[in-house]
Structure 1
Amino acid sequence: MNGSFWRKAAMVSVCLLMGCNPGELPQSGGLEGPRLAGSLGAKKSPQKAEASRFPLKLRIPIQDFFPEGIAHSADGTFYVGSYSTGTVLRQRPGNFHFEPFLPANGRAIAGMKVEDSTRTLWLCELDLTQATPGGLKAYDLHTGRLRGFWPFPVEGGCNDLTLDSQGNVYATDTFLGVVRRLKKGASQLETWASDPERFMAPPGYPGLNGIAWDNGSVYVVKYDSGDLFRIGINPNGSAGTITRITTDSPLGFPDGILMLSPGVLLVVDNDNGQFKRVDLSGDSGHVSVLATGFDNPTTVALHDGDAFIVESQFDHFFGIDQTPPDVPFTVKRVWLR
């Protein structure tokens, strides 16, 4: 895939607005992934994949699922959301099969995070036709009961989210170019950070995408331009200075991001099928490619020190590739240690 992916997908989105067996299967688009870059895989012995550790792939044998968001809880449970149906599946530790957690609702699930301290699954939900508002939702991890819904403007789009150490939730609005915040205990979202000149994308294109909190700052990436920004947090909680981080090589088309450790950012490059690491130093960052060969990867979660990356196969969902998607859909593991 290349930059033409979202140009074609944008045309499909405009059309929508106008009304107009589990196993090792080949990846669509000629990809053979994931392939470990450099010597990343040399540090891991085969025995490390045994015992209580999850397998190299998590499999979703549902033809129309098209996964996008993934979240992971402290007890080892994975949650994966469907961009096509709104279903959320759950895979518990020691279980090699997903089970239903939230039923289909005809909407799209994007970014997801688990807040272990409150046993809450936070997620971004969208109406891809933009006929009704999407927004931020919270569900009880025990019961699946809806705890709250905080709508975005109908023309906006909740894309991804992160939480800080105080329990405040930050979410990117991909179409309106702002970061929204739900302050802990608040009843309404607020527009927390905005920069129309740098955050907005052309109509129909995804702009602000992945978001991550790290030690008093929030990092966001912009899909269409590949830009990475750091947003400071003032002592009163308001957004501080917005700084563009200069990287020594392009991030490509960044989707989900996640902090691996202080100053170390993991980035999923969707259109190029790559998984990257950014070592931050002041206002600059060193980019290294950890693995390649993914089929439209979207988001990443960490478990047992390793990365689990969703392959969305969005080229099939948006009709760019007219053939059926490869089933099962997969969440692929990349060894990080």
Structure 2
Amino acid sequence: MPRLPRLVAVPTAAVALIVLTSGPTSAGEPTVSDPRVIAHFDFAAGQAAENIALEPDGSADLTFAFSGQVARVDKQGTTRILATLPPVADPNTPAVGVAVASGIVRAHDGTLYVNYATGTSETGIWRIDPHGGAPVQIAELPVDGFPNGLALDEECSVLYAADSVRGTVWSVPREGGTPTAWATGTALQPLPAPDGFIGANGIKFHNGAVWVSNSDRQTLLRIPVRPDKSAGTVETRATGLATIDDFGFTGHDDTVLAALNVNNQVALVRPDGTHKVVLTRDDGLANPTSVAVRGKTVYVSSASFFVTPPDPNLLLARLDRGHGRTGR
């Protein structure tokens, strides 16, 4: 997620930011078409749609950043609340000041894991059992950090959390326990003050590596997982992705659809690092925060941090190869 509306007066020049790097459309590369918003949420009630995990039936499990809720939205747009993280009386979350429900992942058995950033001992990873019940904290993360994106390597039973303030990727056993600072370094950190705000943000486990976006540095990074499960050298796979938030892979290769939050865009990022815009504000995006892909369906959550009037929503689109819209 980017900085909150009450903390920012974004100048026009900053919103404009950097023109996206683009390249020629490659034959057979994914194309996106038929975007439609299937559900709208209540921003005033804290329902800023932050992150997505997908259910086998195509429903989307969403975190609502400011209400602490986890909701399930079916493909017809019907929404129900699954769980609510415990309220924090005096949140002191670094950089934002309020409690934020952020990354979410789903295990094959239906268990959900959610990041919660509060600036208190409640900061960490919480588990929601498949059959309901109150969320349970399974790992505490540093109170001076901001756990944002969350990824799961189910084969190795490891959760990875991207800390946007400390510039760290934390690893935690899926069953819970003490976190380990798995990856650190400049590439994961926010920019220095006064310009810095959000470093490591979105995160995914894909093809034997942990992939991370850095919002401040406008980059998409790949960190190989070594045979001993330690972090390899951080690789920069794409640059110039202004206001990048979370992202999703379109298939088995390294093609990515990335949410560009303040720009109100989704960009297709090719394996060679070039990219093009495939969805915009005209399609219904309202500060997109996360992208997920299942088969031929693209899911995009929008938190509407800056759009006036606010319109947090869930958008679906069609993913194809060789036809459909070719970018803008």
Q: Which category of TM-score, normalised to the shorter sequence, fits these structures? A: 0.7 to 0.9
Question: Residue 228 and residue 315 in structure 1: after superposition, are their counterparts in 2 closer, same or farther (change >3 A)?
Answer: same
Counterpart in 2 of 1:200?
Answer: 189
Q: What are the within-5 Å matches in structure 2 for residues 152-171 of structure 1?
A: 152-166=141-155, 167-171=157-161
Q: What are the within-5 Å matches in structure 2 for residues 24-173 of structure 1?
A: 56-61=37-42, 63-64=44-45, 65-92=47-74, 96-103=77-84, 105-106=86-87, 107-115=99-107, 117-127=108-118, 130-166=119-155, 167-173=157-163
- Secondary structure, counterpart of 1:198 in structure 2: helix
Question: Residue 238 and residue 229 in structure 1: after superposition, are their counterparts in 2 closer, same or farther (change >3 A)?
Answer: same
Stretch moving more, 293-302 or 266-275: 293-302
Answer yes or no: is the 8 Å Cα contact 2:259–2:265 preserved in 1.
yes
Please state how far the C-alpha of 1:85 moved relative to its aligned partner.
1.2
The one-letter code of the counterpart of 2:169 is V
Question: Residue 309 and residue 42 in structure 1: after superposition, are their counterparts in 2 closer, same or farther (change >3 A)?
Answer: closer
Question: Residue 274 and residue 232 in structure 1: after superposition, are their counterparts in 2 closer, same or farther (change >3 A)?
Answer: same
Structure 1: runs of 5 or more not aligned? 13-28, 30-37, 50-54
TM-score after normalising by structure 2:
0.77
- Secondary structure, counterpart of 1:118 in structure 2: coil
Counterpart in 2 of 1:315?
Answer: 306
Please state how far the C-alpha of 1:270 moved relative to its aligned partner.
0.6
Structure 2: runs of 5 or more not aligned? 10-14, 16-23, 88-98, 321-328
Please state how far the C-alpha of 1:217 moved relative to its aligned partner.
1.1
Answer yes or no: is the 8 Å Cα contact 2:37–2:313 preserved in 1.
no
Please state how far the C-alpha of 1:6 moved relative to its aligned partner.
4.2
The one-letter code of the counterpart of 2:302 is E
TM-score after normalising by structure 1:
0.75
How many equivalent residue pairs? 283
The one-letter code of the counterpart of 1:258 is G
- 1:251 matched to 2:235? The reply is no
Please state how far the C-alpha of 1:43 moved relative to its aligned partner.
8.2
Answer yes or no: is the 8 Å Cα contact 1:86–1:104 preserved in 2.
yes
Q: Distance in 1 between matches of 2:201 and 2:134?
A: 27
Q: What are the within-5 Å matches in structure 2 for residues 220-299 of structure 1?
A: 220-247=212-239, 250-261=240-251, 262-280=253-271, 284-293=272-281, 294-299=285-290
Q: Distance in 1 between matches of 2:32 and 2:129?
A: 38
Answer yes or no: is the 8 Å Cα contact 2:41–2:48 preserved in 1.
no
Please state how far the C-alpha of 1:226 moved relative to its aligned partner.
0.3
**Aligned-pair RMSD on alpha carbons?**
3.0
Identity of aligned residues (%): 24
Residue 331 of structure 1, aligned match among 308, 314, 317:
314
Question: Residue 149 and residue 140 in structure 1: after superposition, are their counterparts in 2 closer, same or farther (change >3 A)?
Answer: same
Question: Residue 133 and residue 186 in structure 1: after superposition, are their counterparts in 2 closer, same or farther (change >3 A)?
Answer: closer
